[in-house]
Amino acid sequence: MDCLFCKIMAGEIPCTKVYEDEWVFAFRDINPQAPVHVLVMPKAHMSDIMACDGETMAHLLDAIQTIAKQEGVDKDGFRIVSNCGKNGAQSVGHLHIHLLGGRQLADSMA
């Protein structure tokens, strides 16, 4: 499948991995928008949040909590965002959740 994030997971394209388990893979964003900017994605290819099921989302949530502690942003807080589709400005068609933290983030969401 011609999917950038599947290729990253397969090791065909380098990344800085921060977390992996049976269901989830997470790595640093190549163009970080905050001191901590991690992309958390399901190993199974699915296009976006509309294609996601509850079990997969539960695994993503567990991983996000673990990564937040690992990255040291659990105490001061962080933001998660998942862009979906054209109006959501999604640029890579494999579901991923941005985890942003390490500084005071802007109030604005859009």
**Which phi and psi angles does 6 have, rounded to 5°?**
-65, -40
Residue recorded with tokens 């099921």: 53
Q: How far apart are CA 38 and CA 27, in angstroms?
A: 6
Cβ nearer to ligand AMP, comparing 75 with 86: 86
Residues 9 and 43: beta-carbon distance below 8 Å: yes
Tokens of 98: 């941005």
Q: Closest separation between CB of residue 64 and ligand AMP, Å?
A: 15
Cβ nearer to ligand AMP, comparing 27 with 75: 27
Catalytic, out of 59, 94, 96, 98: 96
Binding site for ligand AMP (CB under 6 A): 4, 13, 15, 29-31, 39, 83, 89-92
The reply to whether 96 belongs to the active site is yes
Cβ nearer to ligand AMP, comparing 1 with 75: 1
Residues paired with 81 in a beta bridge:
98
The residues carrying an active-site annotation are 96
